[in-house]
Structure formats: structure tokens, C-alpha cells
């Protein structure tokens, strides 16, 4: 059922990613115009003074996130909604040395569940890529932009935002500022009567809470709609009685199941964690991100975050960044927290991320394209032969780190299907193929001394799992094609 068939008021539709809702959750990208036909630059959205009426996109009616309009919007969110800055500070940008390779576009791999090979260059179009950069040993090996995204532009990171929030939490835990064994209510008494109240901070960080938060978009009574209404910065209509901010919504979340028993991907967990961080530090998530990470990276650009009606940054998915700066963050993590001539994260934070969490907890949720993975500190950990781990966001946002290959990939995209299971078959094997390619090249050169692996990394990486495992039940779109990263607001 499409969102316009539901009894959802227009004022609420504006804060949702409608592209995933206007079609079946299991729709394949073949139902949409391809990357070339949907190119936002060619379609001329929002050009003119004023633009032609049929080229204008609006936030309040949701037109900004219909497909193919959303391909323009993801690179221009600040023009459409209230935001708060994430300052890069006033220092010089850190240098990115360019050592571009001309052999990457022709690299081939076989998509998951497929039989015919595909080239790296073909995969960019298949995934509706807006921008992609590859760092190898800290140098720019590959960089391309499409549509309306430019090197100086910013793009919605969607649920990659969660990874930044989880990393900040892990940093505060390492410093002793935040106790992961404490309950959420210890830090946020306002949540004592909610399902979050007796969940530990660690359970928030690893999303093993037992909370009732349905993301069934075909159900107008699902909690996702109440969350969207609360976070909508537009004035509420007459007679509206629901929560009016993210904080007010979190206090209404009820229990479902037990904490600590299984991984359940719920954006509300990140919102609650963001509140904990704000209460502990006295700084909202945008300020904390600027002070502890963004201003220390030597970022080229400020980042920014969408906010609710009282200016609370959307911790679950509101971050927008430049592509190169996202890669800088990944390179810092790859180097065990050190970048721009300073230690930004304690090495033990990165070690904890790379070790991952319980694979058994992860396996209780059906992710047929992600066999053997786990989720730690809001990072997705592959446990593959390259020790790769990543941040993921709807419509194809990705930050992929492969320590064994000394490789970082940052990608922004505007795939018409929100759930990453729609692009994983042509993304994950491409990343692995490039990692293997760079490792083979490294064997014939004089590589720099490798960064010290975190404890247990060598044993774990030796138990790499084939991506094809479990694909027999994952032909075509898997049963939960949108569950990897749910299309809510900017998730």
C-alpha cells in the first residue's frame, strides 16, 4: 500500500522518505527510471528564479522525497528544512594526497545471487551512486561524482548518522564519562516509565533493547508515524494531541520483549542514546560531534544536522556531510583513532568496534544478505576475511572500512528503494573485490607498516565468511528488504 493510500495527513508526510512508501516495500529498482534517466541535473529540479512550477520541490507535501525528485533533495536538504551546524572549526583542512588508479572501473565481480559478472563502473549506475571515494593507505585512489553532488557539496548520510552517535558514546565510555552498565533512567529520569528506563546504555549502543517500535509503514498506527510526527519541525495542526518533540516521543515508547536477548534495529534507540550523550556532556549531538571529532579531523566543510521543532538534532539520521570528510572519518577509524597528527579516538574504542558483538543476537533477525555479521557501537561488523566493518544508511549511504586491505570507501547514493538489501547485491561484493585487488597490488609494492590490529583481530579475520552464504533463500528481494535500514525521516 502506498503512503497516499493511507490516512496520513499531508503535514506529516513531509518528514518521511516517501520514495520507499509510495511503492511496495519489496519493489525492485527495475520499476524505476535508471540512473541516467533519473539524473537530477538533467531533470532540472529547483532551477530558475523561480523554478517552473513542475520543477519545484516542497518539504511540507512530501514531494521532495518522491522518486526521482529525491535524487536532488539528498544533496540539498538544507534548502528544505531547519538544520543546525556541525562546525569544522577554523583550522586548515587536513591534506588528502591523490594517487588515482585507472584500473578500478574495469574491476569485475559477481553480484550476490547472480551469475553474470559486473564491472565496478557498472555497479555505480546500478546503485544510483551520487558520489564515491576510495582511500588506499590514506591516499585518494578513486573519486567520482554524479547528478547534482559536487566535491564542495554535502549529502544526507541517513543512518550513517547512527554510527557517529555510537562512536561518540564509545568514546565517552572509554574516558569513564559514561557507564555502559547504567540504565537509561539513571541518566534520563524522564524515561524511567518508558521501555528505555531499565535498558542499559550498552543495550542502546548495540540495539538489543526490547521496545515496541513498529516500522511497518503500511500501518498508519505504527509507532514510526508517531515518531515522524513528533520530529516534524512544522507547526502541528489544530487538535494534534501527540508528542511534539523527539524527547516527548521517547517517553511514550512501551516494552516489547526483553532487553539484551536479540539485536533489533530501531532508530528510537539512537535518539535515546543521543539524549543520554546530551545529558552527560551538556552538549547536543551536533555540538559534541563538532568538538570531539569533526573539528579535529581537518574536515574541508562544516557538516549539518536536521532538527525538530525545539532544535534537537536528529540523532537517528539527520547528518549531512561532504564526501571527502566522511572518508576522513573512516580513515581515522581505520588508523585506530589517529588522524591529522592527533589521537582523536582511543585505540581501545576502535578495537571494541572491530571485535563486534554477538553474532547469535544478530542472527535472530532475518538478514539473509548479512550472514555472520554483528552490530557493535552502532557499526555493522562483517567478520569477513578483510576484517571489514561499516556504517549504513537508507538509499545506499555507506562507509566501508577494510583494515586488511588498508582501504576506506565512502559512498553517497539515491537508490529508489530505501532498504539496503536492494543495493547490497551489487555493493558488498564490489567492496570485497576492490579490497582483494588492492591487497594483491600491495604484495608487489613496498607497503607501509600496517596499523596494529586490535586484540583478537587476526583470529577473527582468519574465520572470514563468504558473502554468498545463505543466498539460497535470498534470491531476488529478501523477505525484509527494507529492514536493514528503515526509511523514516532521514534514517
Dump pLDDT digits (tens) for 87-104.
999 999 999 999 999 999
Q: Is 139's pLDDT higher than 60?
A: yes
Tell me which of 88-97, 141-150, 227-236, 440-449 is least confident.
Answer: 440-449
14 vs 240, residue with greater confidence: 240
What 3-state class would DSSP assign to 476? coil
Q: What is the predicted pLDDT for the residue at 10?
A: 55
Tell me which of 2-11, 246-255, 343-352, 418-427 is least confident.
Answer: 2-11
Q: Is 212's pLDDT higher than 80?
A: yes
158 vs 3, residue with greater confidence: 158
Contact assessment for residue 118 and residue 282, using Cβ atoms and an 8 Å cutoff: no
As given in the structure block, the three cell numbers for residue 11 are 503535514
Q: Is 490's pLDDT higher than 60?
A: no
Model confidence, pTM:
0.89
- Edge to edge, what strands does the sheet with 139-145 contain? 139-145, 129-136, 407-413, 397-402, 389-393, 379-381, 374-376
Query: For the CA atoms of the chain, what is the radius of gyration?
Result: 21
Nearest-angstrom CA–CA distance, 155 and 144 = 14
Nearest-angstrom CA–CA distance, 120 and 103 = 10
Contact assessment for residue 23 and residue 31, using Cβ atoms and an 8 Å cutoff: yes
Nearest-angstrom CA–CA distance, 291 and 293 = 6
* pLDDT tens digit sequence for 456-482: 433 333 333 334 333 333 333 333 333
What 3-state class would DSSP assign to 262? coil
Q: What is the predicted pLDDT for the residue at 448?
A: 53
Task: Residue count of the chain, please give it.
Answer: 491
Q: How confident is the model at residue 4 (pLDDT cuts 50, 70, 90)?
A: very low
Q: How confident is the model at residue 216 (pLDDT cuts 50, 70, 90)?
A: confident
| Residue 293 per-residue DSSP state | I
Nearest-angstrom CA–CA distance, 149 and 129 = 10
Which secondary structure element, helix H or strand E, spans residue 321, and what is its range?
strand 319-321
Mean pLDDT value across residues 485-489: 34
**If you average pLDDT over every residue of the chain, what do you get?**
88
Q: Is 284's pLDDT higher than 90?
A: yes
* pLDDT tens digit sequence for 222-250: 898 899 899 999 998 899 999 999 999 99
Nearest-angstrom CA–CA distance, 18 and 489 = 9
Amino acid at each position: 500500500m502506498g503512503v497516499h493510500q493511507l490516512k496520513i495527513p499531508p503535514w506529516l508526510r513531509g518528514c518521511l522518505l516517501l520514495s520507499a512508501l509510495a511503492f511496495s516495500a519489496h519493489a525492485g529498482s527495475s520499476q524505476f527510471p535508471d540512473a541516467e534517466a533519473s539524473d537530477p541535473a538533467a531533470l532540472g529540479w529547483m532551477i530558475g528564479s523561480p523554478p517552473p512550477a513542475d520543477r519545484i520541490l516542497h518539504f511540507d507535501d512530501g514531494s521532495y522525497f518522491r522518486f526521482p525528485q529525491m535524487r536532488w533533495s539528498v544533496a540539498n536538504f538544507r534548502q528544505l528544512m531547519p538544520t543546525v551546524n556541525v562546525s569544522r572549526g577554523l583550522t586548515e583542512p587536513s591534506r588528502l594526497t591523490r594517487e588515482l588508479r585507472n584500473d578500478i572501473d574495469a574491476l569485475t565481480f559477481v553480484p550476490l545471487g547472480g551469475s553474470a559478472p559486473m564491472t565496478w563502473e557498472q555497479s555505480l549506475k546500478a546503485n544510483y551512486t551520487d558520489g564515491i571515494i576510495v582511500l588506499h593507505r590514506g591516499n585518494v585512489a578513486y573519486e567520482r561524482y554524479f547528478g547534482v553532488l559536487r566535491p564542495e557539496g554535502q549529502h544526507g548520510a541517513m543512518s550513517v548518522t547512527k554510527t557517529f552517535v555510537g562512536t561518540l558514546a564509545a568514546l565517552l565510555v572509554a574516558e569513564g564519562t559514561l557507564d555502559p552498565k547504567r540504565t537509561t533512567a539513571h541518566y534520563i529520569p524522564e524515561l524511567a516509565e518508558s521501555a528505555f528506563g531499565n535498558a542499559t546504555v550498552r543495550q542502546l549502543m548495540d540495539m538489543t533493547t526490547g521496545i515496541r517500535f513498529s516500522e511497518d509503514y503500511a500501518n498508519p498506527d505504527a509507532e514510526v508515524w508517531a515518531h515522524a510526527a513528533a520530529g516534524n519541525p512544522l507547526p502541528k495542526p489544530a487538535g494534534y494531541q501527540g508528542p511534539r518533540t523527539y524527547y516527548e516521543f521517547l517517553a511514550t515508547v512501551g516494552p516489547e520483549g526483553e532487553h539484551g536477548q536479540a539485536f533489533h534495529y530501531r532508530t528510537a534507540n539512537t535518539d535515546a542514546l543521543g539524549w543520554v550523550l546530551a545529558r552527560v556532556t551538556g552538549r547536543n549531538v551536533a555540538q559534541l560531534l563538532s568538538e570531539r571529532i569533526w573539528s579535529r579531523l581537518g574536515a574541508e566543510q562544516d557538516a549539518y544536522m536536521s532538527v525538530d521543532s525545539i532544535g534537537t538534532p536528529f540523532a537517528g539520521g539527520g547528518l549531512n556531510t561532504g564526501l571527502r570528510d566522511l572518508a576522513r572519518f573512516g580513515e581515522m577509524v581505520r588508523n585506530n583513532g589517529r588522524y591529522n597528527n592527533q589521537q582523536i579516538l582511543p585505540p581501545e574504542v576502535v578495537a571494541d568496534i572491530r571485535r563486534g558483538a554477538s553474532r547469535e543476537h544478530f542472527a535472530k533477525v532475518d538478514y539473509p544478505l548479512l550472514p555472520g555479521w554483528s552490530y557493535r557501537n552502532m557499526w555493522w561488523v562483517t567478520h569477513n576475511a578483510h576484517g571489514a566493518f561499516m556504517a549504513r544508511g537508507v538509499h545506499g549511504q555507506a562507509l566501508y572500512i577494510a583494515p586488511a586491505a588498508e582501504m576506506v570507501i565512502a559512498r553517497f547514493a539515491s537508490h529508489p528503494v530505501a532498504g539496503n538489501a536492494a543495493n547490497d547485491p551489487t555493493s558488498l561484493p564490489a567492496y570485497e573485490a576492490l579490497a582483494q585487488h588492492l591487497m594483491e597490488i600491495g604484495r608487489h609494492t613496498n607497503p607501509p607498516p600496517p596499523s596494529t590490529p586490535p586484540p583478537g583481530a587476526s583470529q577473527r579475520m582468519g574465520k572470514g565468511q563468504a558473502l554468498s552464504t545463505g543466498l539460497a533463500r535470498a534470491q531476488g528481494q529478501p523477505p525484509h528488504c527494507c529492514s536493514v535500514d528503515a526509511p523514516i525521516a532521514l534514517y
